[in-house]
Amino acid sequence: NAGVMQNPRHLVRRRGQEARLRCSPMKGHSHVYWYRQLPEEGLKFMVYLQKENIIDESGMPKERFSAEFPKEGPSILRIQQVVRGDSAAYFCASSPAGRYEQYFGPGTRLTVT
């Protein structure tokens, strides 16, 4: 059973460009979470999605960030007009319905130059 998959693993963007991060949950998992890890900080929750629904986006910055989990295909975290402060590791996690533990992908390390 493949784990949570994220791509790309590394992404370099210039200021002002768009970044698209993809996450495929584990087979049978219908819940997806995105977290951001900044240097010297722990992981911070961003958004929680189920298929075609955003359940909790209380951790998402109000501007430039959006997320989706379509009926078909991976979950996408989109960052428009990136700034240097967006440089971080972005982790996706998934869980089956009704379960509490979350399983993490390897992360996408975004560098904004």
Which residues here bind other proteins, judged by CB under 8 A?
4, 6, 31, 33, 35, 41-45, 48, 55-56, 58-59, 91, 93, 95, 97-107, 109
Q: How far is the CB of 50 from other proteins (least distance, A)?
A: 8
Q: How far is the CB of 84 from other proteins (least distance, A)?
A: 21
> Nearer Cβ to other proteins, position 48 or 69?
48
> Nearer Cβ to other proteins, position 19 or 90?
90
Q: How far apart are the first and last CA of the chain?
A: 37
For residues 51, 56, 61 and 67, what is the CA-based torsion angle, rounded to 10 degrees?
Answer: 0
For residues 92, 56, 83 and 85, what is the CA-based torsion angle, rounded to 10 degrees?
Answer: -80
